[in-house]
């Protein structure tokens, strides 16, 4: 009577194929995680900008002195969301009050009275995203 089963070479081929597939899939998975973090950061930036626009309209042409004032009583934002610049900075909701980005992570808000860019908020990162676009362009 002949025994049925797999030979050692057949099992080795299957293990090699699984290893090749894993070597291809893991970098793709890491790239997808980075892209999802970038998308979340762009969405958070849009939410803050929308809140700033509503505040500007409510206050008849005045931007807030601080972004944190948008969270007062939860009228515009419940909390300041985090900026995510994967591979460069850790997730941070901190805000640097300055006219230009200094690559410190978090957000950069221009609250300088009389500056033509007053009320502008950016991701405080001068590196590029997965598409090669500098974060401060958004």
Domain range for 109: 8-137
Position 2 in a domain: no
Position 33 in a domain: yes
- For residues 18-46, b (16+ Cβ closer than 10 Å) or e, as one string? eeeeeeeeeeeeeeeeeeebbebbbebbe
pLDDT in tens, 91-110: 888 898 988 888 888 999 99
Q: How confident is the model at residue 115 (pLDDT cuts 50, 70, 90)?
A: confident
Position 21 in a domain: yes
Give pLDDT, residue 118.
92
pLDDT in tens, 75-93: 899 999 999 887 788 888 8
Position 84 in a domain: yes
Position 1 in a domain: no
Give pLDDT, residue 18.
95
Position 3 in a domain: no
pLDDT in tens, 2-12: 778 888 999 99
Q: Are 110 and 120 in contact (CB under 8 A)?
A: yes
Q: How confident is the model at residue 21 (pLDDT cuts 50, 70, 90)?
A: very high
How many structural domains compose the chain?
Answer: 1
């Amino acid at each position: 009577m002949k025994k049925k089963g797999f030979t050692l070479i057949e099992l080795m081929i299957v293990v090699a194929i699984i290893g090749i597939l894993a070597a291809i899939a893991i970098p793709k998975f890491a790239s997808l995680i980075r892209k999802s973090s970038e998308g979340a950061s762009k969405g958070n930036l849009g939410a803050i900008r929308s809140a700033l626009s509503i505040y500007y309209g409510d206050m008849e042409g005045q931007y807030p002195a601080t972004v944190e004032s948008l969270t007062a009583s939860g009228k515009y934002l419940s909390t300041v969301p985090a900026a995510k610049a994967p591979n460069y900075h850790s997730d941070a909701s901190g805000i640097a009050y300055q006219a230009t980005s200094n690559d410190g992570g978090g957000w950069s808000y221009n609250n300088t009275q009389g500056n033509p860019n007053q009320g502008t908020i950016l991701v405080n990162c001068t590196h590029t995203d997965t598409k090669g676009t500098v974060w401060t362009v958004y």
